[in-house]
Amino acid sequence: MTMGLRYMTEMCDSGSNFTFFIDGDYALNIVNLLTYLHNLRSHENFYGGKMWFTRPLRQKFDKHYRSLEQYPYAYYPPFIAAGAMLLSEDVVKRFYILSHYTKYFPFDDVFFGFIAKKLDVTAVQMSDLLPSYFNIPQKDDIRNLHLIGSHRFGHLDEVEFIYNKLPYLQEIN
């Protein structure tokens, strides 16, 4: 994630207002994403996605285990899940700079939460970005028309099924 910030900061033309990091196994509705961006009140100080308020896991055999020595606090600061994260251009640059002055943490999304807290950037819950383990609509549910993205699809045929149900695509084809 930090290398992505570096690339956006050093290599990309500053003509874009946002950077959207998304895992390759997400289904993305680009029209809904563009609509969301168009409706934002500001193109600055934005750090959004699926927001988490969570405790460090203290069970030694869990892959996300953190000892009290590694992280002595009861909760992590609010952070955006790394699977799909939207950042305004100014936040990308500030996150990148501060990443050099923030102690490394092995979970990139939590690490970004530390940086956001230091910069006093509030995480924004984007309710139409859904991780896979939420109880969400079935693949043929009309509520899928509002989704920006979802990590819940297990197979490419499920992504294609939703893609083909979107009305704007039927109009274009």
Q: How far apart are CA 99 and CA 45, in angstroms?
A: 16
Average pLDDT over residues 150-165: 66
What is the three-class DSSP state of 121?
coil
Residue at 172 is within a domain: no
Beta strands in the chain (DSSP E): 18-22, 27-28, 47-52, 79-88, 123-125, 129-130, 149-150
**CB atoms closer than 10 angstroms to residue 76:** 21
pLDDT at residue 1, as a whole number: 85
Q: How far apart are CA 151 and CA 32, in angstroms?
A: 16
The predicted-structure confidence for 60-100, as pLDDT tens digits, reads as follows 999 999 999 999 999 999 999 988 999 999 999 999 999 99
Residue at 104 is within a domain: yes
Considering the entire predicted model, what is its pTM? 0.82
CB-count exposure of residue 15 (10 Å: 0-12, 13-18, 19+): exposed
Question: What residues make up the domain containing 97?
Answer: 2-24+41-125
Q: How many domains does the chain have?
A: 1
Q: How far apart are CA 37 and CA 34, in angstroms?
A: 5
Q: Flag whether pLDDT at 158 surpasses 70.
A: no
The predicted-structure confidence for 1-55, as pLDDT tens digits, reads as follows 888 899 998 888 767 899 999 887 777 888 889 989 999 988 999 999 999 999 9
Residue at 150 is within a domain: no
Query: Residue 61: what are its φ and ψ, rounded to 5°?
Result: -95, 5
